[in-house]
Every structure is written in C-alpha cells, then in structure tokens.
Chain A
Amino acid sequence: MLQKTDAEAKKQTARSDEFDEHDEIFEDSKINVNIGPQHPAMHGTLRVMCEVNGEIIEKSECELGYLHRAIEKIGEVRTYHQFIPFTDRLNYCSALQNNIAYVTSVEKLMGVELPKRNVWIRTMCCEIARIIDHLICVGINAFDLGAMTFFLYGFHQRERAYEFIEKLCGSRLTTTYTRVGGLMSDLPDGFLRDLSDWLDEFSEVIDEMDRLLTGNRIWVDRTKGIGYLSQEDALSYSMTGPCLRASNVNFDIRRDMPYLAYDQVEFDVPIAKGGDVFDRYLIRMTEIRESVRILRQVCQKMPGGPIWADDKRIRIPDKDRVHNSMESMIHHFKFFMEGFDCPEGEAYCPMEGPNGEVGFYIKSKGGPKAYRLRIRAPSFFMFQTVNEAARGCSIADLIAIIGSVNIIAGELDR
C-alpha cells in the first residue's frame, strides 16, 4: 500500500553499514541487556530484554504484568457505580477519558439518553484530558532525550490544566467525575471564562514549545527515522490514535464514527507519512492545537439545562433531599449499597482516547454487576510494536521509541 519512504531507505542503508562495521570488530560479541522493570527511563514497570551487538539491538523481548491488579476481575464483583473509581487507575494521565468511556458503555446497555449539557461537558473533559496526556507524552519523550526546558514548559501548562480538573471535581489525577447518566457536579461559576483565558495563554506557550523543539537539529537527528512502522505493520498491530495517524492512516473515531458532541464541532485530523518518533511528536503537537480549537468552540456553544438524564433507574437523589426526606435517604442507601439493575445485553463503546481507541466491553446477564468487563487499552497494542520498531536501533533509540508510543503501565497491565 505504501511506498518505502526516503527515511526508511536511508535508515536501512545506515543499518547495514553499522552491522558490517560491528561484525568486523566484534565478531560474535552479542550480549544481553536487560532494561527495566525499575529503570528511570522506562515509563512505569516495563521490562525489555535486548540482545545487542555492539550498541545495536538485534532482538528484543518485552515483558509486562508487573502492575497487574486484576481490574477486569474486580469489575465482575463490584456494582457498576463502584467500578468508576477503578477506571481512574487505568490511564492515570487521562482519567477523565476513561471515566467517560466506561459510563458510556453502561449507559448504552441501559438505553439512557443524555441531556445536551452533559454531552458538551463530557466533550470538554475529553479534550482537556487529551491536552494533558499529549503534553506528558511529548514532554517526557523530549526529557528522556535530554530536552529539559521543553519538558518544564509543558509541565507548567499541564499544571494549569489540572487546576481546571480540580475545579471540576476536587481532585487532580483520580477524577471519578462521571456518573452513570450524569456527572458528579455541574461546572463551577466562571469556569468557561477562566478556561478560555487559559486557552489564549496556552496557545502562545504551545507556539513557543514548537519553536523550541520542532526545528531543533539535535531533536530531529535523534528522532527522524527512528522507530519506523509501515502502514501495513501499524494496521496489523492494531495501532490506534496518534501513532496510527503518524503511519499514514487517515482514521480518527471522533471524526469518522462521531460520539458525544464531536459531530457539532470543527476540527482537523492530522496525518503524517513518516511513521517514526518525529512524526508521532508532530501529530501530538498538532492535535494539542486542534484540541484547543475544539475547546474554544465548546466555550462558545455550551448549552444550559440539566446535567442528569431523566431516568429514575440511575438518578442519584439530591443531597438536600437525602438529608430531609426518609424516602430519599432509603433510596440513597439502596442505590449505593445494592446498585441498580442493568438489563441483559452486550455493549462496546470505543472512543478516541489520547493514546488510541479506549473502550469498555461489557457483557451483562442482568443484575447490578457486569458479567464480563473487558478493558480495551491502547497501550497494550502499542507495547507490542516496540520489538518490531526497535530492531536495528541503538539502546538510546529504544528509550525514544518507548517514549513516543506513550505506554502507561496502569493501562497496559490492568
């Protein structure tokens, strides 16, 4: 489908030269190098075992499972509401996205229609989560390769974005903001005004970050042609999200299979042809700008009205009624201790998370608990490509590759 790009051809000739050189000097000088699971440059508890010839990785093997907490099993013994906090602990860089993806699946099972304001607030949450996740990814990727200033610029803005999440739900990382059929609370006063003020400031900083790194010779030399994945490989490995688009596949669930309010906002989907670390960085930087664009439209178009779906099965009674009427208090306790009954059925509602397709596949046989809860985590698919992408690269490049695919161990091991 795809012609070999110049970058790949160049890389291959470079590779073969290097191999020859090494073979002459160190014949049969293969040694095994073990990186991780506890290593500062590894993103979480990942382990990669490499067979290196000189400094070139000839074979590698990834290992995972160090953070396996059996979240899928826990999903089968907790009620639908009790499971929401566990979704924060999957991809903890974009917890809001996980919250929303999970409750959407439950809502689909129950046939709940959401009010407009809820949908728009959720769209806004997804985009704030995306900005944070992308800032962490490009920031740490650059930091691993020595670009500390870029990282600090990004993290300063990430901190500002966390302030907004804090205003929404009181916590920064573990948000637990959504409820089935509703949200924890409505937007606080002046939230959208503050948000659009920050967006103006942030888009200047993102330009500054762009000037700092994108044309930087050292950065380009370290990332161009590294970790190349062809279009066929990216599709065969079920890559999704920015990494798939960096490999020249024009697909974005937000645009192609719209959910929430994405069919009512304008945005562009960037694609790149290189399939390497540099292109993944470029895609992420462009997507941050597109997210800013979406957030601006959300600030303008945010409708009024209720945030809760009008459905007695899932409505949490208001606090003032719980404290003042006995029926509501009984309802409150029954709701949280026993949960609500979900009809039989199966649902899988994939969403375009910052990393790729995030979805919860729920199989229900009735009752307040899921019969099977499967978490489709993009990191799992990304980590699988590392072996392929790292072949022929040096160990220092492996760190760049792992940073560029943005693996979050909480989501990878579940």
Chain B
Amino acid sequence: MTVSCKGYSKEKLERMKARYTGKILSIETKKTDMPIIEVAPEGVVEFLQSIISEEGFEYNFLSDLTAYDFNPPVSKVPDYDLGSCRAEGDAKRFVVVYHLLSLQNKDRIRVIVRANDGEEVPSVTSIWKSADWLEREVFDLYGVKFANHPNLRRIMLDDRWVGHPLRKDYHIKKYQRWEDSLEMTSVGFEE
C-alpha cells in the first residue's frame, strides 16, 4: 500500500518521451502520485515553453514551483534530521520542482531539474509571471540561483540574513541578530 500514479495514461508518457527525446532525461512513475519528468537545466525553459502548446499535453498552468535539498552533506546535518537524510552518492544537491497543470486536459505532471550548490537554473519568469516570487522564495530559502531572473533577492527573510534556512544543514534553532536588534533584557520581578 503505497502511493502510485495509476490512472495516468502510459501511452501519453511514451508519446512525450518520443516527442522530447534528448530533452527528457528520465520519467519516473513509481512511488509518486503523478509522473516525474526530469529535464536537464539547460533545456528546461525550452521544454516548458514547448509543452504549453504541444497538442495532447497543453500543460499551460504553473501550479507551483519549489525545491528540496535532496543530497545534503550528511556530516553537517543536525541530529534531529539524520534519520531521513542519507548520502545519495554523487547525485546533485538540489531538486527544483515544477508542478504543471493542464486546464484543458485536467491533469498534472511534475517536472524536476537537478542543480548543485552554486549552479544556476534558468528562470521561467519569461513564461509565467508567477515564477517571479516563487523563484525568489526558492533562492531565499535554498540558495538556488536562477539565471536571467529580473529581481533575484530575498523575499521572506531580511536582506541581511546569512545562509538559507530550508537547507538540511541549517539548524532549526539557529537565530541571527543584527546591530540594531533590540537588546533582550529580563522583564519581571527581578531587577
């Protein structure tokens, strides 16, 4: 009893594979609720641009854009997270996830792009305006840089923040202070 993407037509995936040979690195259908299509970073904009209007697919709606830290440096991961983190060989560190929705065909796919720390992923702001803030959020919390983004700066956190908190090697209790932060004084009955 695990998650599966039954109900998704295999024939459609075969067609997609045939149409985008060279662009699609792999299609994963096990242990996921919708097919995961891996694309190389340099081809992602072209692929997403093309699949918007490709007949039979029409994935024209960017439902969500996010990322996760797939292969963190395990020696630096805090204890509380060691259970779920493990070394994944030489797999790239970050995975950027695009959730696409087809309004016409009413189905969804998940497109992923892998990137190492410091590597740039092309921005999709030229295709969807919503990608602007979403990519800023990924940059803020994971430090994945997006090439050709018009305004890539922090969105959730203060501009002076050091580090990227959703990385697995960032401790959840770590806090940061600045010169103008108010001094924490004891308030109460004691002097």
> Which chain B residues numbered 138 to 172 have a C-beta less than 8 Å away from chain A?
141, 155-158, 165-166, 172
Assign chain A's interface to a size class. 35 or more
Query: Which residues of A approach B to under 8 Å, CB–CB?
Result: 64-65, 68, 70, 72-74, 76-77, 108-112, 233, 235-238, 249, 251, 256-257, 311, 343-350, 357, 359, 361, 363, 365-367, 369, 371-372, 374, 376, 380-381, 384, 413-414
Contacts of A65 in B (CB 8 A): 155-158
Evaluate contact between A381 and B130: CB separation under 8 angstroms: yes
Known contacts A73-B165, A374-B64; A346/B3 CB under 8 A: yes
- B21 interface hit (Cβ, 8 Å): no
Contacts of B134 in A (CB 8 A): 380
Evaluate contact between A108 and B130: CB separation under 8 angstroms: no
Label chain A's interface by main secondary structure: mixed
Instruction: Give the distance in Å from the alpha carbon of A108 to the alpha carbon of B32 in the complex.
Output: 9
Other-chain contact of A238, B34, B62, B157, B165 (Cβ < 8 Å): B62
Evaluate contact between A366 and B3: CB separation under 8 angstroms: no
Q: Knowing that A65-B155, A74-B172, A369-B83 touch, tell me 19 more A-B residue pairs with CB under 8 angstroms.
A: A68-B157, A70-B172, A73-B172, A76-B84, A77-B80, A77-B81, A108-B3, A110-B3, A238-B128, A256-B106, A343-B3, A346-B32, A346-B110, A348-B108, A357-B63, A361-B99, A371-B85, A376-B64, A380-B137
Taken residue by residue from 86 to 129, chain B's Cβ proximity to chain A (1 for < 8 Å, 0 otherwise) reads as 10000000000101000100111010000000000000000011
Chain A residue nearest in CB terms to B34? A348
The 8 closest A-B pairs by CB, nearest first: A111-B1, A238-B130, A372-B68, A345-B31, A345-B3, A65-B156, A236-B129, A343-B2
Evaluate contact between B166 and A346: CB separation under 8 angstroms: no
Contacts of B172 in A (CB 8 A): 70, 73-74, 77
Instruction: Give the distance in Å from the alpha carbon of A311 to the alpha carbon of B128 in the complex.
Output: 42
Interface size on B, residues (CB 8 A): 45
Contacts of B158 in A (CB 8 A): 65
Instruction: Give the distance in Å from the alpha carbon of A349 to the alpha carbon of B34 in the complex.
Output: 10
Instruction: Give the distance in Å from the alpha carbon of A369 to the alpha carbon of B128 in the complex.
Output: 33
Contacts of A345 in B (CB 8 A): 2-3, 31-33
Evaluate contact between A361 and B66: CB separation under 8 angstroms: yes
Instruction: Give the distance in Å from the alpha carbon of A15 to the alpha carbon of B149 in the complex.
Output: 31
20 cross-chain CB contacts under 8 A:
A68-B157, A235-B103, A236-B128, A236-B129, A236-B130, A344-B2, A345-B2, A345-B31, A346-B31, A348-B99, A348-B108, A350-B63, A361-B64, A365-B85, A365-B86, A367-B83, A371-B84, A374-B97, A380-B134, A413-B156
Other-chain contact of A70, B1, B128, B165 (Cβ < 8 Å): B165
Chain A residue nearest in CB terms to B97? A361
Query: Which residues of B approach A to under 8 Å, CB–CB?
Result: 1-4, 31-34, 36, 60-64, 66, 68-69, 80-81, 83-86, 97, 99, 103, 106-108, 110, 128-130, 132-134, 137, 141, 155-158, 165-166, 172
Evaluate contact between B129 and A237: CB separation under 8 angstroms: yes
Chain B residue nearest in CB terms to A250? B103
Contacts of A357 in B (CB 8 A): 63
Instruction: Give the distance in Å from the alpha carbon of A348 to the alpha carbon of B106 in the complex.
Output: 15
Chain B residue nearest in CB terms to A233? B129
Instruction: Give the distance in Å from the alpha carbon of A350 to the alpha carbon of B33 in the complex.
Output: 12
Instruction: Give the distance in Å from the alpha carbon of A57 to the alpha carbon of B168 in the complex.
Output: 42
Instruction: Give the distance in Å from the alpha carbon of A359 to the alpha carbon of B63 in the complex.
Output: 10
Instruction: Give the distance in Å from the alpha carbon of A65 to the alpha carbon of B66 in the complex.
Output: 17
Instruction: Give the distance in Å from the alpha carbon of A249 to the alpha carbon of B83 in the complex.
Output: 45
Chain A residue nearest in CB terms to B62? A238
Evaluate contact between B84 and A367: CB separation under 8 angstroms: yes
Evaluate contact between A371 and B63: CB separation under 8 angstroms: no
Known contacts A238-B61, A365-B86; A347/B32 CB under 8 A: yes
Instruction: Give the distance in Å from the alpha carbon of A359 to the alpha carbon of B101 in the complex.
Output: 13
What distance in Å separates the Cβ of B33 from its nearest Cβ neighbour in chain A?
5
